[in-house]
Amino acid sequence: NDGATILNLLDIVHPAAKTLVDIAKAQDDEVGDGTTSVCLLAGELLKESKYFIEEGMHPQIITKGYKEALKLALQFLHENAHSVADKNETEKREMLIKCAQTSLNSKLLAHYKEFFSELVVQAVETLETNLLDKDLIGIKMVTGGSVTDSFLVSGVAFKKTFSYAGFEQQPKKFNNPKICLLNIELELKAEKENAEIRIENPDDYKSIVDAEWELIYEKLRKIVESGANIVLSKLPIGDLATQYFADRNIFCAGRVDAEDMKRVQKSTGAIVQTTVNGLTEDVLGTCNQFEEVQIGAERYNLFKDCPHSKSATIILRGGAEQFIAEAERSLNDAIMIVRRCMKANKIVPGGGA
């Protein structure tokens, strides 16, 4: 039931209709909700202007009239806006919860609006007030369980990535760990098809193989020497590296999604490295607690209470995948609305108020 999603899925050819789609996208990106309302309003304005166009009026005159109307409308909105800034914390929170509930009223989660509005406000309140960076709020969908089994993690959470043998021996919980973020492969490269190596005696081949092993071990040694307890990489971490880290009580995860990596980077203060040369403690991040937990049928890595930048993750539960996907869009709209209210510190009652 998300207006922006419906419009995105339509195959639109008419120029005027394309304009409406662009308006809806702009509304969705900037405000996050009200895409259907803005389309209805814009459609009505176009409908009203059609009569004047047919009568021979120049479009610029109509545009000028609409601009004057816009000024009057904005003036009216500012006059009728209620300030949130002068409210105490309890009143302000109640107002934000009501705003979130209003956003969820027309959505699939309308029956659970009390539960999710509380969750959304908690998530936005976790962020730093001066920034309110929406990218620091993640929504992870886990099938199974009831919708009300959804919960908030104060920090970053993402699904356990593919792992090799040896992963089971790695520690799954740390307090104040040092976190190393990489964008390099940590595995032995297999020879490509039709690769050709010319050697004069068998010892030469052995030296080539030994050199490959030495290269990977050198990388792993440098990572361990940096003092990292957790190693995350956007690229694969192979079985050799996994076992090497397990033997030294280090947790590792390869093929971490770029979006999750970005959130971990912002939250923990770690800097993504493209080489292990010069790897020092300065580029490592930290969080108060790290643990891997079971959620439904999946394993999740949780980075809790990150000191560098406040972040939050909503773990969304439910039965069907389609339902959870729709619920995720609804929550995203509610988050954007609450964030907007906190930024502007003003709200305007709707027509039904």
First to last CA, the chain: 23
pLDDT digits (tens, 9 = 90+) for 4-29: 778 888 888 888 888 888 998 888 88
Helix (H) or strand (E) holding 174: strand 173-175
Give how many domains the chain has, as a whole number.
Answer: 3
Q: Which of 2, 28, 33, 260 is catalytic?
A: 2
Q: Which of 36, 133, 149, 305 is catalytic?
A: 36
**Domain endpoint, select from 33, 55, 80:** 80
In a domain, 353, yes or no: no
In a domain, 146, yes or no: yes
Distance CA 334, CA 122 (A): 12
One domain for residues 210 and 272: yes
In a domain, 352, yes or no: no
Checking if the pLDDT of 102 tops 70, the result is: yes
One domain for residues 285 and 191: yes
- pTM for the full model? 0.80
Verify whether residue 36 is a known catalytic residue.
yes
Least confident of 241-245, 248-252, 329-333, 347-351: 347-351
CATH of the domain at 284: 3.50.7.10
Q: Which of 28, 33, 35, 242 is catalytic?
A: 35
Q: Which of 28, 33, 260, 333 is catalytic?
A: 333
One domain for residues 136 and 170: no
Distance CA 44, CA 34 (A): 15
One domain for residues 27 and 72: yes
Token code pair at residue 53 = 């166009």
One domain for residues 221 and 104: no
Domain that holds residue 342: 89-154+310-347
**Residue 244 banded pLDDT, cuts 50, 70, 90:** very high
Distance CA 267, CA 260 (A): 11
CATH of the domain at 341: 3.30.260.10
One domain for residues 125 and 166: no
In a domain, 299, yes or no: no
In a domain, 297, yes or no: no
Verify whether residue 35 is a known catalytic residue.
yes
